[in-house]
Structure 1
């Protein structure tokens, strides 16, 4: 057999279960002193003059073609629903990361603005139902697979956007910056980040009852696809087992559509060799189809933060997360602050546990999450100058702390307030007018 998915034909070499275990264990956590930082920012694309109007596929295609001509330092990708994503190169400092992505975003916005389009920082599209823009074998197979669990998969693919923060895995040795501690912290602080930055309370112009509907959507596509492994003292082993026991999304081939088996785990695929023996390329692809809230890719990819409002809103979650993980004093404070929250997980994995559900539903209206967020944001604010953050970044975090966290609010509350005001104006209007 051969693999022509990437555009060239290569001989396939099948794998054994032991080889897969060794490969996954070897690549999931690359340990060492935390030195690098990255961010991936996703955006909905909407009409500048009227965000509620859908953008035609023809205009989206032309806009994507135009921004692809830009000399960006960040990698530009298009998501299935036409969302744009910029992924920064690994940076050696918070300032470098912010400056790189800010410059790239300015360039992208300028090109889109020439065609009357703009970027929207929202965790989930509040106006339009999901619609596919990209028609590729990967996304055809993904849609078929996710449709088996209900409509949430299409919402995730086509209507959602996030801020994903990428951090080094940390030291091999124990301690505040050790990889075992950072893995545990990411899964518990992650709930606080969901709550503080919740920004998706509407679909179809109506409140859903959740501050982060995007996070709810992820829980609905299934634990095998969007869940994480149990937390223990051996993150490598736990992640390896999770990879092997998670369902295969599809079996790629030279012909389309690709086969989409139901309930076939990668471990079972290795043992049966049907419909064909899996290869290293299949393993690499399988890893890209797992969407836990914290994904180990050598580094840690934190995927639980809703896209943020404003041109520079993404900088705050990036700065807060970097400070709480990479500054030893702030990391220790965050670890102690979130420890009591562990009792609310009931031993279940994120995001399908009570703590994460409370964070997505109530956000910082939850008193314990609010109290923990205040401690963590304050620690991050104190750490940012030690990380060399600019005065502008410190001011942005300070403003967010004062406007939202201290008051037990999140960006979703602003959207809900505006929606209630709009409903009040509509209901108060004379029907004869």
Structure 2
């Protein structure tokens, strides 16, 4: 909650930004997955707030947390585990449990990174979401689509104890290759452009100040601080409200401006800054661990392959040095979203990268089923320059939806 006078300085903000790169020992791993949800027999009917409130109280066998996104997408977030194999096992059990629970309430889910069956509609009325939607609407409809009609796979990994920046740099180095390899939302935007990952294209069309990658060529903590200061504030949260009460702001007030000039409701506190950090959505976000946010929603077996791939790249000894000898793909985020592994550079990087993963998987998993799934993925997709979305016969075509283009900033 804002203060009546200025009390926050840049040194305090810098320490808070540095906290986002705190390491843990031993390592910890987690997963977050989402699915679009609708009533049986009625794909337009989203979950009601009352049903979502009850479902969020369910206890999962693997202790995952059940939440819902603004459009009624159900989300499972695992507990942190000492191995990715344990996180995968918990997710598998809890996904089956939440599916049964949803069926009991009359709901069904699908694997779809972009829900192209219906126009976007927000069903959660939390003040934070209302403010977010109004803020994004100033730049076009991409924000509402992201909030209500997209789903993803998120992988969470702690920072390495020996070097808290190592995995951060590695994931930026390899992020576009992984976007391309696991792209699973083929579609056409309103300008007629084809995408292998239409979900990621929608993200690129949102306020770039909070969705573009954090600059990686400078000190990570300083880069994260600069990124946060430059980003606009869209919601001033009331103390202890967790986003249920507060004041929404239109575009144009960066956190740096608020810090420097204040606002009619007061000056920002350190809690306001921490809340602001939670409203920033770069493809790789530091939160005391690394949130890898750039993967499409995936079929269960491919989701597990993606999780084990990232775990192997993050944890296997020496693999980061080997990856550094591969082409640098940090500037190819857009190419990855548009073309997947049809991009020559990304395909030529993906093949040796996944060979490294196959050779090092045993460092993080002794499960022969996981090794077989990885080999199947490499054979079916990577070596052929294909991605999971190539198996989807019907493209999402956003030209059927009237209104401003979803990705107006892209050429």
Post-superposition CA distance 1:255-287 (Å, at most 9, x none): 967231431111111111212111222112101
- Report if aligned partners of 1:29, 1:236 keep a CA contact under 8 Å in 2: yes
In structure 1, what is the Cα distance between the partners aligned to 2:30 and 2:59? 20
Shift of 1:170: 1.8
Shift of 1:14: 5.6
Q: Which runs of 5+ in 1 are unaligned?
A: 4-10, 173-177, 346-354, 421-433
Change (3 A) 1:37 1:226: same
Q: Which runs of 5+ in 2 are unaligned?
A: 397-411
Match of 2:403 in 1: none
Post-superposition CA distance 1:79-123 (Å, at most 9, x none): 000011111111101221111111111111112233453332222
In structure 2, what is the Cα distance between the partners aligned to 1:376 and 1:152? 32
Q: Is 1:393 paired with 2:370?
A: yes
- Report if aligned partners of 1:126, 1:202 keep a CA contact under 8 Å in 2: no
Match of 1:26 in 2: 18
Equivalenced residues, count:
390
Shift of 1:204: 9.5
TM-score (norm 1): 0.83
- Report if aligned partners of 1:74, 1:104 keep a CA contact under 8 Å in 2: yes
Q: Is 1:301 paired with 2:287?
A: no
Match of 1:271 in 2: 260
Change (3 A) 1:271 1:163: same
* Deviates most, 272-281 or 192-201: 272-281
Q: Is 1:329 paired with 2:318?
A: yes
In structure 2, what is the Cα distance between the partners aligned to 1:360 and 1:396? 24
Root mean square deviation of aligned Cα: 2.7
Post-superposition CA distance 1:182-213 (Å, at most 9, x none): 22221121101110111112379998510101
Match of 1:212 in 2: 197
Residue 247 of structure 2: which of 258, 261, 282 is its match? 258
Change (3 A) 1:361 1:152: same
Q: Is 1:158 paired with 2:148?
A: yes
Q: Is 1:88 paired with 2:65?
A: no
- Report if aligned partners of 2:47, 2:107 keep a CA contact under 8 Å in 1: no
Match of 1:248 in 2: 233
In structure 2, what is the Cα distance between the partners aligned to 1:123 and 1:261? 28
Change (3 A) 1:203 1:44: farther
Tell which structure's C-alpha radius of gyration is larger.
1
Q: Is 1:146 paired with 2:136?
A: yes
1:78-157 superposed matches below 5 A: 78-157=68-147
Change (3 A) 1:38 1:14: farther
Shift of 1:411: 1.4
Change (3 A) 1:21 1:258: closer
In structure 1, what is the Cα distance between the partners aligned to 2:360 and 2:245? 52
Change (3 A) 1:216 1:256: same
Secondary structure (helix, strand or coil) at the match of 2:114 reads: coil
Secondary structure (helix, strand or coil) at the match of 1:328 reads: coil
Change (3 A) 1:223 1:204: closer
In structure 1, what is the Cα distance between the partners aligned to 2:16 and 2:143? 26
Match of 1:367 in 2: 344
Secondary structure (helix, strand or coil) at the match of 2:75 reads: strand
Residue 378 of structure 1: which of 355, 367, 372 is its match? 355
Post-superposition CA distance 1:374-418 (Å, at most 9, x none): 112221122222213412211221111111111111111111x35
Secondary structure (helix, strand or coil) at the match of 2:381 reads: helix
Shift of 1:229: 2.8
Shift of 1:139: 0.3
Change (3 A) 1:48 1:404: farther
Secondary structure (helix, strand or coil) at the match of 2:302 reads: coil
Post-superposition CA distance 1:294-327 (Å, at most 9, x none): 1011111110000002x44321111111101111
In structure 2, what is the Cα distance between the partners aligned to 1:41 and 1:222? 23
Residue 314 of structure 1: which of 287, 303, 320 is its match? 303
- Report if aligned partners of 1:143, 1:154 keep a CA contact under 8 Å in 2: yes
In structure 2, what is the Cα distance between the partners aligned to 1:199 and 1:149? 26
In structure 2, what is the Cα distance between the partners aligned to 1:376 and 1:318? 15
Shift of 1:67: 5.8
Shift of 1:125: 0.9
